[in-house]
Each structure stands twice: as C-alpha cells, then as structure tokens.
Amino acid sequence: MKRKVLILGALIAFGASCTDKFEEFNVDPKNPARVPGETLFPNAQIGLSDQVSSTSVNLNVFKLWAQYWTETTYTNETNDDIVPMTIPDNTFQEYYTGNDATLSGGFLQDFKVAAELIGESDALTQEAEVEKTNKLAIIELLTAYAYQNLVDIFGDVPYSEALNIENIAPKYDDAATIYQDLIRRVDAALASLDESQGSFGSADLIYGGDVASWKRFGNSLKLKLGITISDSHPELSKATVESAVVGGIFTSSEENGELQYLAATHVNTLYEDLVQSGRDDFIPANTIIDLMNGLQDPRMPFYFTQTAAGIYVGGPYGRLAPYSRYSHIAEPITAPDFPGILLTYDEMLFYLAEAAARGYNVGATPDVFYNQAVTASILWWGGTQADADAYLARPEIAYATAAGTWQQKIGTQAYIAFYTRGLEGWTEWRRLDVPQLIVPPRISSYEGIPKRFTYPVNEQTLNKTNYDAASLAIGGDRLTTRLFWDRF
C-alpha cells in the first residue's frame, strides 16, 4: 500500500560512547517522521479529482460506457470487456489504498489518515479548535462523495471494515445501508461546519478553505444522495432532498465543486490521456453527436470539432473508427488546466427539476428548474444567454412541448449537460433509462448493456468468503445486475 507519510529520519551513530546529549542529532528537522494531515489533504483531493476525470481505460471507462466517447482502434472497453485490463481491481485500489506500482490513488486512505492526524493535533485557541473541526467536516464530505461513487460503480462494497490495514478481508456492507449512513454523515458534517472560522486555507485546492462554500457543497452532495434513491427509498429521498434545499445548495456555477488544474504544475488527466500520450484512442461517439445534431444544440462547438466537411460526425460506438474520419474532442477539454469536476450547479438544477416532477417541495415547478439547468450548462460551456433562450424556445426542447415523459425530457438534457462526466452520465441513464443507448456489437441485447462493475478478481481470491456473500446479496456478480436504486 502506498503511503505518502515520509519516514526519512537521519540516524547518526557515534559508537558506544554516545550519550543522551547527542539525541538531537538523531532527528532530521527537515524530514519529519509524519507529515501533517493538512499536507495529505490536498494530495487526496488531487487523487479523487484525477480518478473522476481520467479517461485511461486502466482506471475509468465511464465516458465510454455513457457513450459520450468511443474507441478508435481497441474496442474492448466499449464492448464491456473490463477483465483483461483488471479495471475493477484498479478502480478498487485507486479509491481505497492506492497503486504501489504507479504511486497513485488511495485517496480514501489519505482522507482517513489526514483526519486522524488532524484529530490528534493540539488546538491552542478556541478559534483553532473551530478550524480543526471545520477541517474534519470537510474531509467527511469528500469521503462521503467518494463512497457514493464506489457504491454507484459496484453496489455493495467494503465500508464499515474498510481502510483497516490489519483487516485484509473486510466484509461488504449493504449498498442501501451505506447510502443511509452517508446521508447521516453528511448531516453531521454540515452541522459541525462553522463559517466564523476558516479551515485549510490554500491547502484546499477546491474552495481555498472557504467554509461557506463547503456548506453549499455538502448540501448539494446531500441533494445528489437523496435524488439517487428516489425510486428505491421515496420517503427518505423526499426528506433528504427537501432538507438539502433548505440548508442551501449551489446558487450559481461560480460555486461548482471543481479542482482547478494548473498547466505549469499538476495537469488534468484528460490532457495526459489525450495529448501528452500522443495517442488517438478516443473520439466522440455517434450516440451523443447524433442526439445533439438532431436538437441543433449550441454546445456542440464546445464539445466537439467538425470534420473536414464542416459537420459533426461521431464514431460508431463499439466499432473500429479511424480517427481522421470523425469529429474529435474539443480543444478546451484537452487543455492542461481544464478543471476536475465533482459537483455542479446545473447538475443540482436537473435534480431539482426531477424532484419537482416527483412532487417534492423544492420551491418551483419542473419547467422552471429545467430551463435554469439547461441555461446554466450552456453558459458554463461558453454559450450566451441568447443561445440558451433560442434553444429553449424550440418546441422539441421546451419543457411544455418536448416529447415524452418528464424522465425523458429531464434525462435527455441532463445527459447532454454531463458530457465529460462519464459516471454521472452513466448513472442518469441507469436511473432514468434515458437516452436510448447503442447496443455494442459484442453485446447480444439492450439488456446486456452494463449496469455495474463486477468485483475485482483479487477480491474473488483473497477475500473469497466476503466476496461470495456480497455476490449473493446483490443477486449475482454480473455486469447486468442492477443496483438497489436502479428499480425500473
């Protein structure tokens, strides 16, 4: 397991005649035995953002599985073959303990250790004690965010016994129970945040230590947790969503939960995967390009390039697709400083539109939130208010006249808005069954499109008893097994 704590103490031996007066020479003041938790925290933030952003097929295939992108030459992952590259194993490692070979990931462990070190530190003043409490609450929020991702990828996962280096065979907790506990933990973290004092300051790479921003992030995360379980736990969903709205979610895109990468230091993994690698492995898929072409969507220039013929053409999903024949991923997305995106304002508005359509008390009707969500997405990507107004005026876009159920109307626009955010796009498809995806050539039917990751091969051998119990509990360790919140 990768450890970021430096153990570099200098040992100076002077022979048997050494006495206690030389003890000070046995410590290297420039290389402490343990780094502060405040140093581990930004490392963990970067690790989380890198994993969410990445399009490396070794770590993250969700932009492919959401059918935002497709592969040009090697089409295993778009045909749902994730075993040869041990993708589930790599994902488990990235979230939990990290990869020793690549010195990456392990951000849940880093968050845990950072919290332990900060919790053990002495606060010399009342203000410092409040600041310490704020730091611990912020770590809790990001830990909850990471665990929600894990559940949404696998289903039941190690939770109550996870991250204990003395327990190499942790049990798997029930996914629905984990969700309920995450809501509880987010509530407790929100209650302990105190805006009168700061937190991590510049060591916080998302909000610069601003506690008010973290409160909005926490309530927005709570809204996401609540809306995701709307079909499986409607009463808890309604209470959680309404409470989050009262608590105060994002009010503009300026409040998004984003990690700003820097071209001069730590670059976005998309830049590494798509530019620095020198490879042409990915292009936009025909699934999303055909959908947006049909709607004359104004975000297309920000998402894709045009072909030599001056049109947008997506590669055939899951099939060989020569790079030169199709549209490519737009340059702003492949820039080294493109942000790592965790939660966004437009995402919250789509959830509110859904909540209103379900009859929750969230302060407005579905069409109001729908219009605000589409507008916020267009503006964030670089479009204008006029672009948004014209788009929403189209009969096939306007909430009152667009075809289909509320699920189809909201789900279609949420899917488009979540472009580059593969896990969110794939999750919305699983929850709302929108849009209609393409069946890859090696999949026999629409029902064969994956609904989850299978568990890591290592877990099947090294943690077999708990793996067998988890597999039985979820209804079989298959790609097509639905998660507890995927009811319809």
The pLDDT assigned to 488 comes to 80
- pLDDT tens digit sequence for 407-436: 999 999 999 999 999 999 999 999 999 999
Strands annotated E in 123-165: 157-158
- Nearest Cα neighbor of 138 from 181, 190, 97 is 190
| Phi and psi at residue 159, to the nearest 5° | -145, -70
Let me know the angle formed at the C-alpha of 167 by 162 and 169, rounded to the nearest 5 degrees: 80
Q: Is 44 helix (H, G, I), strand (E, B) or coil?
A: helix
Q: What share of the chain is helix, strand, coil (3-state, %, to 5)?
A: 50, 5, 45
State which amino acid sits at residue 267. V
Q: Computed from CA positions of residues 383, 386, 392, 396, in that sequence, does the dihedral angle turn out positive or negative?
A: negative
The pLDDT assigned to 265 comes to 81
Domain boundaries, the chain: 37-264+339-474
Q: At what angle do helices 87-95 and 107-120 cross, to 10 degrees?
A: 10
**Fold for the domain defined by 37-264+339-474:** 1.25.40
488 residues of the chain, pLDDT tens digit each? 333 333 223 322 323 334 343 344 344 444 444 678 899 999 999 999 999 999 988 889 999 999 999 999 999 999 999 988 899 999 999 999 876 545 556 999 999 999 999 999 988 899 999 999 999 999 999 999 999 999 999 999 999 999 998 999 999 999 999 999 999 999 999 999 999 999 999 999 999 999 999 999 999 999 999 999 999 999 999 999 999 999 999 999 999 999 999 887 889 999 999 999 998 999 999 999 999 999 999 999 999 999 999 999 999 999 999 999 999 999 999 999 999 999 999 999 999 999 999 999 999 999 999 999 999 999 999 999 999 999 999 999 999 999 999 999 999 999 999 999 999 999 999 999 999 999 999 999 999 999 999 999 999 999 999 999 999 999 999 999 999 999 88
Cα distances from 98 to residues 91, 104, 163, in angstroms, run: 9, 6, 11
Question: Which token pair is 264?
Answer: 């001069």
Sorted by sequence, the CB contacts under 8 Å of residue 99 that are 6+ apart come out as 2, 90, 93, 105, 106
CA–CA separation, 82 and 169 (whole Å): 23
Max Cα–Cα distance, the chain, nearest Å: 90
Compute how many other C-beta atoms are within 10 angstroms of the C-beta atom of residue 5.
Answer: 13
CA–CA separation, 315 and 304 (whole Å): 12
CA–CA separation, 320 and 399 (whole Å): 37
Compute how many other C-beta atoms are within 10 angstroms of the C-beta atom of residue 122.
Answer: 7
The pLDDT assigned to 11 comes to 28
| Phi and psi at residue 285, to the nearest 5° | -85, 155
- Nearest Cα neighbor of 92 from 55, 49, 146 is 146
pTM of the prediction? 0.92
Cα distances from 286 to residues 277, 395, 403, in angstroms, run: 24, 23, 21
CA–CA separation, 196 and 211 (whole Å): 8
Q: Is 479 helix (H, G, I), strand (E, B) or coil?
A: coil
The pLDDT assigned to 7 comes to 28
State which amino acid sits at residue 393. A
The pLDDT assigned to 393 comes to 98
Q: At what angle do helices 422-432 and 406-417 cross, to 10 degrees?
A: 170
Whether the Cβ atoms of residue 315 and residue 283 lie closer than 8 Å to each other? yes
Cα distances from 69 to residues 284, 315, 415, 420, in angstroms, run: 4, 8, 13, 9
